[in-house]
Amino acid sequence: MRTRLVRICLVENVHYPGDCRAHSDDERADMARTVMVFRVGIHPVFNRIFHHDDGVGVGKGDKDKRKKERGKAPEEKMNDDKLIIAGKEFTSRLMVGTGKYSDNGIMQAAHDASGAEIVTVAMGRVKFDDPNDLFKHIDFSRYTLLPNTAGAYTVEDALRIARLAREATGTNWIKLEVLGDRETLLPDVGGTLEGAKILIDEGFIVLPYTNDDPIVAKKLEELGCATVMPLASYIGSGHGFLDFSGIKIIIERCRVPVVVDAGLGVPSDAAQAMEIGADAVLVNTAIAMAKDPVKMAEGFKLGVQAGRLGFIAGRIEKKVYGSASSVGAGLK
C-alpha cells in the first residue's frame, strides 16, 4: 500500500470562528511554527474515497449551460433542477458543515436529515493521528468533501491549509476563507482575491467566502472561481439577511453559482436566499448549535426546497393597492 509522508507547518489547533479570539497574536505565531508530520494513504477513509472526478474548473460550457438554465420555463426547471459546480451535478442545494456539534453521532444524523451532498470541513480541526478523527464520521460514498481554510487570517495561512488539504485528501476542491477581523469574522477581500488567483493557478477548484459586494464577486468569477459565496451576515451570528440588495445584484451579474454563506439562523432565512435566486446555501452553526440539530437540519432542507420552488414558480408582482381574489362577475 502506497504511503506518502507529508511535512506541514500549520496552526496546530485552529479554533473554529468565534473561538479565534482565544489566542493572542504571539500565541498564534508560536502555534504556526508547530511542525506536524503524519502519514496519509494508509487512512482507511482516504483509501476508500477521494478518487472522484473533481471537474476541470469553470469553462465556457458551464457558463453557457447556466445561462440556458436561467432561460427555461418553470416546469422544465423543476424536472431538471440540478446544482452544477465545476461540471459536477448535485441534487441538493444545501451544503453543511462539521463544526460545533456536541458529538459526532448527532453530526451524522443531522447530515442525513439535511439531504446535503456537500460537506465542508475545517482542515485545522482535523487530527490525523487520532484513531477517532472526524473523517471516520463522514460517509464519503454519499458526500462530496469540501475542505475549507477557516481560521486563516493571512493569505499564507490560507495557502498552507489548502495545500495540506489537497495533499491529505486528494481533492482539489477548496472553500477559501481569508478572514480580516477577529470580532466580525468578515473576509479580507484583498487577501481573498490574491489567494484565489494563486490557488486557481495551482489547479484548485476555488469556492471563496466573500462579502456582498457585487464588484468583488465579479472579480472572483473572472479569476476563475467555481462559485462565489457571499455572506448574509456575520459568521455564526444567526442574524439572517441584513440587506438583500448586494446579493441580488451578485445573482443578477454572476454566471457561476451563488452560494449564500454565513449568518443564516433559521430555515426561513434559507428560503429567502433561494427565493431571490441564490443557487445554494451553506449552513453550519444554525444547525449544529440548535436545541435539536437533526430537526433543524431537516427544517433547512425543506426551507431550501420551498424557496427554490418559489423562485422557479415565479412570485406575483407586488402591488400598491389590494386586488380581490374573487371577481364579482355573475354575482347578484
Catalytic residues: 175
Helices 189-201/214-223 angle, 10° precision = 10
Nine-digit cell string for 35: 511542525
Cell 453530526 sits on residue: 107
Question: 178-190 burial string, b = 16+ CB within 10 Å, else e?
Answer: bbeeeeebbbbbe
Read off the C-alpha cell for 259: 452560494
Does the CA dihedral 309-311-317-320 come out positive or negative?
positive
Q: How buried is 191 (Cβ within 10 angstroms: 0-12 exposed, 13-18 middle, 19+ buried)? A: buried
Phi, psi of 201 (to 5 degrees): -65, -25
What does the CA dihedral 228, 232, 233, 234 come to, rounded to 10 degrees? -40
β-pairing verdict for 35-40 and 4-9: antiparallel
Could you tell me if 27 and 59 are in contact, meaning their C-beta atoms sit under 8 angstroms apart? Answer: no
Residues 248 and 281: beta-carbon distance below 8 Å: no
Beta carbons within 8 Å of 158's beta carbon, 6+ residues apart: 149, 152, 176, 177, 178, 191, 195
Q: How many other CB atoms sit within 10 Å of the CB of residue 237?
A: 19
Quick one: cell of 323? 386586488
Read off φ and ψ for residue 159, nearest 5 degrees.
Answer: -65, -40
